[in-house]
């Protein structure tokens, strides 16, 4: 564990929805530069709630959130911190709204105050990095689900975030797109906090896995273990790619 200033830190986070028991009950979490953490948990365990609280989209009822060393006390603090975080939504079509892919990828950089020429260059560079240069003039909502996800990732990476927050990044994707996302993420030198219900995927892009149990984080370990196969190739050496 290094002593660098934490990018993301929560203490005793309690968060939930009116009329129900809170889903997060005193959650502590720290993400430092270079760390990659994965969070597994079943549907409804509060994974998305945690991420939304971190981005300031949901107000926790108790507890403290610190981003980049600053206490997040109100919308103003969150607005400043969001410019340094890259949040990938579960559904790419919630994230893409511009008439062209290039416009969408440039949206974040323009909001960060880059000039039009700089934002365009940044967007083009990011698309090239992800191998999406041919998509620049396409209409985002006409793309396939996998293409949309990659473009959504580009819209976030073009902001050069200091930490990536990924909400179920593989939902509804085929094996090929998943592999591409793993490659992209592993090629980046950037802190990652990812939630998913797919431990196999998470173990590929993160180096520490946690589960959300009873509204708190519990570290889980990945160990080889015996299991039953429902496919004929079960007896051969293999990996669980999806």
Binding of residue 39 to other proteins (CB under 8 A): no
Closest approach, Cβ 2 to other proteins, in A, equals 27
Closest approach, Cβ 30 to other proteins, in A, equals 21
Q: 32, 69, 50: which is closest to 212 by C-alpha?
A: 50
Q: 42, 32, 40: which is closest to 220 by C-alpha?
A: 40
Q: 193, 190, 201: which is closest to 217 by C-alpha?
A: 193
Q: 213, 150, 200: which is closest to 180 by C-alpha?
A: 150
Sheet containing strand 216-220, edge to edge, reads: 85-88, 163-167, 191-196, 36-40, 208-213, 216-220
Nearer to other proteins, 99 or 131 (CB): 99
Binding of residue 144 to other proteins (CB under 8 A): no
Binding of residue 149 to other proteins (CB under 8 A): no
Binding of residue 50 to other proteins (CB under 8 A): no
Binding of residue 102 to other proteins (CB under 8 A): yes
Closest approach, Cβ 100 to other proteins, in A, equals 9
Binding of residue 116 to other proteins (CB under 8 A): yes
Single out the residue of 13, 31, 52, 143 in contact with other proteins (rule: CB under 8 A): 52
Nearer to other proteins, 117 or 232 (CB): 117
Binding of residue 91 to other proteins (CB under 8 A): yes
Binding of residue 4 to other proteins (CB under 8 A): no
Residues 64 and 10 sit within 8 Å (Cβ to Cβ): yes
Closest approach, Cβ 215 to other proteins, in A, equals 22
Closest approach, Cβ 1 to other proteins, in A, equals 28
Angle at alpha carbon of residue 196, lines to 220 and 86, rounded to 5°: 110
* Cα–Cα dist 145/173, whole Å: 7
Closest approach, Cβ 36 to other proteins, in A, equals 20
Torsion of CA 179, 184, 189, 192, to 10 degrees: -60
Residues 71 and 64 sit within 8 Å (Cβ to Cβ): yes
Residues 104 and 151 sit within 8 Å (Cβ to Cβ): yes
Single out the residue of 159, 192, 195, 212 in contact with other proteins (rule: CB under 8 A): 159
Interface residues toward other proteins, by CB under 8 A: 52, 55-57, 79, 82-83, 85, 87, 89, 91, 94-95, 97-99, 102-103, 106-108, 110-112, 116, 119-120, 123, 139, 141, 155-156, 159
């Amino acid at each position: 564990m290094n002593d660098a200033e934490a990018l993301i830190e929560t203490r005793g986070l309690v968060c939930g929805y009116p009329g129900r028991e809170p889903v997060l009950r005193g959650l502590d979490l720290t993400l430092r530069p270079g760390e990659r953490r994965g969070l597994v948990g079943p549907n409804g365990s509060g994974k998305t709630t945690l991420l939304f609280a971190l981005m300031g989209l949901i107000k926790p009822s108790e507890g403290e959130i610190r981003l980049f060393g600053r206490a997040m006390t109100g919308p103003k603090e969150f607005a400043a911190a969001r410019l340094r975080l890259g949040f990938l939504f579960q559904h790419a079509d919630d994230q893409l709204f511009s008439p062209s892919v290039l416009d969408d990828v440039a949206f974040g950089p323009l909001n960060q105050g880059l000039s039009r020429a700089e934002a365009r260059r940044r967007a083009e560079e990011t698309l090239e990095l992800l191998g999406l240069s041919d998509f620049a003039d396409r209409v985002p909502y006409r793309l396939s689900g996998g293409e949309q996800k990659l473009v959504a990732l580009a819209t976030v990476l073009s902001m050069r975030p200091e930490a990536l927050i990924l909400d179920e990044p593989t939902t509804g994707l085929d094996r090929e797109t998943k592999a591409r996302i793993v490659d992209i993420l592993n090629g980046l030198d950037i802190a990652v906090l990812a939630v998913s219900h797919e431990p196999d995927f998470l173990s590929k892009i993160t180096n520490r896995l946690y589960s959300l149990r009873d509204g708190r984080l519990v570290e889980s370990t990945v160990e080889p273990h015996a299991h039953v196969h429902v496919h004929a190739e079960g007896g051969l050496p293999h990996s669980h790619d999806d």
